[in-house]
Amino acid sequence: MLIQDLTTILARRLRPLRLLIPALSGALIFVNVAAAQGPVLNEGWELLARYLYRDAGQVFEQTPSTNTRLISLGRAASLLNEPPVTNGKIEQAEQLLHQIVTGESNDTTALYARYLLARIYHMHREASVPEIEAAYRAVLQAGPGTAITQIAASHLALVLLYQRTDLSLDQRLGLAQELESAAVGPALPEVAMSYYRLLADASLFYERVSPQVVDWLEQAHAIGSVDQLRQIDLALQIAETARAVGQAEKAQKYYREFLANAVPTDQRYNTVKLRLHELEDASS
Amino acid sequence: MKPGKIGIYLAVALLIMGFSYSGWQAFVHSSDESANSDVEVIRLAHWQLEPGVREAIDEIAADYMKLHPDVKVEQLPIPGKVWKQWLRTQLVGGNPPDLIEVANYQITDEMLARYFVPLTGYLEETNPYNADEPDLRDLSWRKTFSAELVPEETVHYYSHNLLEYYAVPNAMVTVRVFYNREIMKAALGEDRAPQTFAELIETCEALQAYSRRTGQPILPLAGSIFNITKMTASFFSGTTQKLAINLDYSHDLNLTTFEGIVAFMRGRWSLDTPAVRTSFETVSAIGKYMSPGWVQLDREDAMLQFLQGQAAMLSTGTWDAGGILQQAQFEVGAFRVPSISPDDPVLGKWALGPTSEANIFASLPFGMTRSSKHPARVIDFLRFMTSRRSNAKFSEMSTWLPVIKGVPVPKVSEAFRPISDGYIAGLIVQNYGSQSTSIFNQNVYLLSGEKASADAYIAQTRPLYPKTLTEEMERVSKVFHDTVRQKDSVMTGLYELNREAGLAHSKFDIVAAKQLEVEAQKLQAIRAIAEFKAKNEDR
């Protein structure tokens, strides 16, 4: 009785607000759910970033579906490495990514899905080199000037450098270098730096030490890395390569840079001092 | 029921749901907090049963508990023989200790990622327990370590694949030759430690002559695979440094195992390469003074030989120093494994000088497990443990070398101080993958005893290396492949987490760059294997 009376009084008193209260409450719940979805999605991304693929997959499956394409991207990324990794899961991931791409404009989610499809062809299932190449080029075409393009271009460079066995070394290096404008940009400086290193390292791997290699390494060095140790390694690599191609002054400059920035306990420190002295003695 | 009442009931129901939701969230958080409100227990597990280590950790824990009365630190020393099984059970069981000693040959990248917390971010903050140290207080925690935790290929505290620090070391260890001063004095007429390889051979010769002269069964060197390979690694490295520079096709003064194998597959070196042959000759030169059958002996047997005065010298890591000093009934000396001098007319042609030991032996690294109930407290304890004051205490009590800048090396450990002004390492054939190590261990008898012969060893093992090193390259290629593939999922997560704040130099950017570099190595491996196989088929 008491509850009924209370309700009647409330109904009478709050009659003017009878439409406003449900609306406000509904809005409150909506905001709660929407706000909850953000953190839940974030939890999924965080789990993925921490290598916890299965846990991430479960989170994406349970996430309320207001942005199904983004959730599908998360599920596809989780499936690629969910243990045990199977061909069935890779196929499932591929289907989810195709669904994201089909009929949609080139928004970031679609672009990333295209990129992941290229990665699946390249690293997660056996695909032919032309198929892999075409998939990366599709990403370049779909989103020029973006961070995703930068990475796709750098991976494509690797395909050209190591998997196009039908081409000569000069042709491979030439084609990989043509990707420079796509691979180097302000969105991802660390990737841009890696792109130049990939060119240099490929040339060195094929035992071609040339002034061009020194140039690539210097371009990488000019971009710079937040990782101090990476920058220090690069200075030494430039010094050693410059020395090998007879650019003694440049070699000395970068040896000195290494010695100024590396910790004296670095295993290479003393050897660098020795090699710098050798060049100094030779030039005096 | 009137429509107005339905709206009111709906509103009340919705409000109740809203409050219930909030209440549940509050309850979840309060439950977590109540779990933390009890005494905080930090459990720390390791396998270092050497004398002094447990006592030192106990003392440091006691200091910490005095400072923080609501904290209890429990030490769990687990014997090395059961460690691996114990560790897996603990991790899979879901209730592992908060801190666990990690070693990269026991804990895979997947285990690190699943069970351990990355410490990279913490290491870039300062260590408050160094606040009273003017030279350390403004440095990042990482930079307070003697060698600043530079990530080398072999270190345990950093994962090259995951690009994260996962542990914090507490000591340094080096390899030294311990010797019986009394025997040495009697044999040489003075207590003199050999400084060069030639002097080491002379010392062995004098000890052998002394044994024959006196009729005492004293061996110059105590032997076991564990002990002797510590010494031979140094000989391999010290005789091939210039060769390593020539083979280092990436031109960064760091011949990695990967590059060494590629160079081998391309025919740039073989067991017959003069520098490599010389490295085997150093091993056979010293192997002449080893006891017959030493290959079958284990670490404990070698230690017993030395402690019982049956062998004059024992090569081992400084982790054994405390035990040796405590148990030996004679005066013990120690010296560095003699390096090959570049001036040595026979062995020094490809040598630069002693190999640097500065960073590779950072030891006793503790990682924090994800299931820890008090991560902030655990990090705080780790910082306390690696403060200058605690590290000095640890070093003093355990005789292990300190790992923090400015901590004095205990007098008794002076001979263990790492060579920090040495040169790069050479080509260490015995360490080119587990199969390569097996080849060496199974055939090293050819390099020991009266008939020790580098030629015999090379003739016996020459046919084995091409297959072994190709298989090692295939294995490495698979590891690269798995790493690269995993990063595709990881990077998707990082992309979504980082993109709003800007991707430049973000973790996404850094991981993407690392993935590219690992992928390049994977493709290089495939290319090297294909070229090697094609070349061999043509023959």
| Alpha-carbon span B95 to B116, nearest angstrom | 12
Cβ atoms within 10 Å of B277's Cβ, excluding its own: 16
Q: Is residue B228 in a domain?
A: yes
Q: Is residue B136 in a domain?
A: yes
Q: Is residue B405 in a domain?
A: no
**pTM attached to this predicted model:** 0.84
| Alpha-carbon span B452 to B454, nearest angstrom | 7
Residues of B whose CB is below 8 A from A73: 492
Together in a domain, B262 and B244: yes
Residues of A whose CB is below 8 A from B490: 48-51
Together in a domain, B272 and B330: yes
The answer to whether the Cβ–Cβ distance between B486 and A51 falls below 8 Å is yes
What's the rounded mean pLDDT across residues A53-73?
A: 89
The answer to whether the Cβ–Cβ distance between B352 and A18 falls below 8 Å is no
The answer to whether the Cβ–Cβ distance between B497 and A49 falls below 8 Å is yes
Together in a domain, B384 and B521: no
The answer to whether the Cβ–Cβ distance between A163 and B523 falls below 8 Å is yes
Question: Using CB atoms, which residue from B251, B360, B523 is nearest to A244?
Answer: B251
| Alpha-carbon span B481 to B484, nearest angstrom | 5
What's the rounded mean pLDDT across residues B81-91?
A: 91
Cβ atoms within 10 Å of A281's Cβ, excluding its own: 8
Mean of per-residue pLDDT scores for chain B: 88
Beta bridge partners of B334: B178
For residue B529, pLDDT beyond 90: yes
Query: Is the reported ipTM for this assembly greater than 0.90?
Result: no
**Residue B382: both structure tokens together:** 């780790």
**Confidence class for position A12, pLDDT limits 50, 70, 90:** low
**Chain A interface mutation, best of B116, B140, B356, B489, highest count of A Cβ atoms under 10 Å:** B489
**Confidence class for position A85, pLDDT limits 50, 70, 90:** very high
For residue B24, pLDDT beyond 70: no
For residue A11, pLDDT beyond 60: no
Give the pLDDT confidence score for residue B482 in this predicted structure. 87
Together in a domain, B330 and B187: yes
Q: Is residue B410 in a domain?
A: no
For residue B170, pLDDT beyond 80: yes
Give the pLDDT confidence score for residue B359 in this predicted structure. 62
Residues of A whose CB is below 8 A from B478: none
Residue B490: closest CA among chain A residues belongs to which residue? A49
Give the pLDDT confidence score for residue B312 in this predicted structure. 96
Question: Using CB atoms, which residue from B7, B113, B512 is nearest to A151?
Answer: B512
Q: Indicate the angle between helix axes A147-158 and A108-119, nearest 10 degrees.
A: 10
Encode pLDDT of A16-48 as tens digits. 545 544 454 444 444 444 444 556 789 999 999
Give the pLDDT confidence score for residue B6 in this predicted structure. 58
Together in a domain, B30 and B121: no
Q: Is residue B411 in a domain?
A: no
Together in a domain, B70 and B21: no
Cα separation values, B30 from B23, B27, B33, B70, Å: 10, 5, 5, 20
Read off the amino acid at residue B323. G
> What is the percent of chain A with per-residue pLDDT over 70, rounded to a whole number?
85
Question: Using CB atoms, which residue from B4, B359, B524 is nearest to A205?
Answer: B524
Together in a domain, B157 and B184: no
**Pick from A2-6, B39-43, B146-150, B410-414: least confident:** A2-6
Scan for tokens 């196989």, then name that residue.
Answer: B533
**Pick from A108-112, B52-56, B214-218, B358-362: least confident:** B358-362
Give the pLDDT confidence score for residue B203 in this predicted structure. 96
Within 8 A by CB and 6+ apart from A178, the residues are none
Together in a domain, B383 and B523: no
3-state secondary structure A180-222: HHHHCCCCCHHHHHHHHHHHHHHHHHCCCCCHHHHHHHHHHHH
Answer yes or no: are the C-beta atoms of A191 and A154 closer than 8 Å: yes
Give the pLDDT confidence score for residue B51 in this predicted structure. 84
Together in a domain, B234 and B85: no
Encode pLDDT of A225-251 as tens digits. 988 888 999 999 999 999 999 999 999
Beta bridge partners of B401: B172
What's the rounded mean pLDDT across residues B520-534?
A: 96
The answer to whether the Cβ–Cβ distance between A229 and B151 falls below 8 Å is yes
> What is the percent of chain B with per-residue pLDDT over 70, rounded to a whole number?
91
Together in a domain, B43 and B23: no
What's the rounded mean pLDDT across residues A142-164?
A: 96
From the CA of A284, how many Å to the nearest CA of chain B?
23
Give the pLDDT confidence score for residue B223 in this predicted structure. 80
Give the pLDDT confidence score for residue B433 in this predicted structure. 81
Q: Is residue B409 in a domain?
A: no
Together in a domain, B49 and B139: yes
Encode pLDDT of B479-518 as tens digits. 889 889 999 999 999 999 999 999 999 989 999 998 999 8
CA neighbours within 13 Å on the CB side: how many for B54? 14
Q: A226: closest CA among B122, B510, B148, B518? A: B510
User: Which residues span the domain enclosing B392?
Assistant: 38-173+363-400
**Chain B interface mutation, best of A245, A270, A273, A274, highest count of B Cβ atoms under 10 Å:** A270
Together in a domain, B28 and B144: no
Cis peptide before B77 (omega within 30 of 0): no
**Of B462, B488, B515, at which residue does a domain stop?**
B462
Give the pLDDT confidence score for residue B262 in this predicted structure. 97
Give the pLDDT confidence score for residue B299 in this predicted structure. 86
**Residue A158: both structure tokens together:** 């690797």
- Which of the listed ranges A6-10, B112-116, B531-535 does the model predict with the highest average pLDDT? B531-535
From the CA of B21, how many Å to the nearest CA of chain A?
9
Q: Is residue B94 in a domain?
A: yes
Cβ atoms within 10 Å of B386's Cβ, excluding its own: 23
For residue B401, pLDDT beyond 80: yes
Going by their DSSP bridges, the two strands B362-363 and B171-172 should be labelled as: antiparallel
What's the rounded mean pLDDT across residues B237-266?
A: 96
Residues of A whose CB is below 8 A from B519: 123, 155, 158
What CATH number is associated with residue B435? 3.40.190.10
In chain B, the number of structural domains is: 4
Q: Is residue B379 in a domain?
A: yes
- Which of the listed ranges A172-176, B24-28, B82-86 does the model predict with the highest average pLDDT? A172-176
Encode pLDDT of A246-281 as tens digits. 999 999 999 999 999 998 888 899 999 999 999 999
